[in-house]
Amino acid sequence: MIYVHLGLPEEEATYLRNQVNDDQLRFGDELAEDERESQCRQAEIILGNPPPAWIRDSSSLRWLQLSSAGFGQYTGWAGQELPFTITNCAEIFGIPVAETALAGVLSLLRFIPTFVTDRQEAKWRGAAVRSQLGTLTGKRVLILGPGSIGGSFRKLLAGFNCRVETMGNRSRADFYTLGELDDRLPEADVVMAALPDTEVTKGMFDAARIQRMSSTCIFVNVGRGSLVDEAALIERLRADELGGAVLDVTRHEPLPPGDPLWQAPRTILTQHSGGGAQDEHRRIVDRFLDNLEHFKAGRELDYQVDLARGY
């Protein structure tokens, strides 16, 4: 039995039914709320991200296909021997997240948030603002994370003739250590973090490292909120000592109404929507169906996650 813990639009649910024996499928959103956990516990395969308590002790589960790239809610199982395999949706969201990052950077450089506010207030700046507008062409960009997101962002920047360096492991990046990062930060025009939540990355952008960025640098975080000391970031933004911030992820999600990030100047908050696209659900279902063929054939599943490493 396959349990679907994912709110699929009817078109995508029908598409999945047409690819799989409908007798095998249980859609959680079609069940009464008090039936979902018990059905989930009976499943041999799960598509989606159910609460960990529903599945940790399941005697039936053999494979959990997450509908996300991240799996933070399950990292408490790191180091434990699990009776089932976990796979994720890595690489599915790379292009839309990269486009979100690019859109945010361009918006700040070209003062788009300012012009949106001006329109609401019927305020005309005209020539007075022209000399303040920035351009992306030729800028120096640091990308932290050489994976699908970082790689997609680098490809997009090629059209702007940017000078790009990527930080990551030695086989896939231009530099590798925090010392090398610190040396480069003062000269960077854009710093884009696309890193997972691991013991190594937690707090990577602390107050000292944020202070190393120039007063015109735009900081982008599309990885995990745990990377950043948000109070230190807000302090530099309020002091007009940073070009701006594009944050798709934050430490607290949803961001509470009173959180100071809402009022931080020159800050774009995309509310962890960066990986979204009109065909998002179809791509998730296709990832599942591809792996389902592997599962039925007894082959190794693609995109298995390592809970201990965090990716």
Domains and CATH numbers, the chain: 2-92+277-297 (3.40.50.720), 94-269 (3.40.50.720)
Q: What is the DSSP letter of 256?
A: P
pTM of the model: 0.91
Name the token pair of 238. 């309020």
Backbone angles phi, psi at 181, to 5 degrees: -65, -50
In order of 141, 145, 218, the CA distances from 177 in angstroms are 17, 12, 21
C-alpha span between 50 and 54 (Å, rounded) = 7
C-alpha span between 4 and 15 (Å, rounded) = 13
Pairing outcome for strands 140-144 and 25-27: unpaired
* Most distant CA atoms of the chain, gap in Å: 69
Cis before 254? omega within 30? yes
pLDDT per residue, tens digit, the chain (311 aa), is 999 999 999 999 999 999 998 789 999 999 999 999 999 999 999 999 999 999 988 999 999 999 999 998 999 999 899 999 999 999 999 999 999 999 999 999 999 999 999 999 999 999 999 999 999 999 999 999 999 999 999 999 999 999 999 999 888 899 999 999 999 999 999 999 999 998 899 999 999 999 999 999 999 999 999 999 999 999 999 999 999 999 999 999 999 999 999 999 999 999 999 999 999 999 999 999 999 999 999 999 999 999 988 87
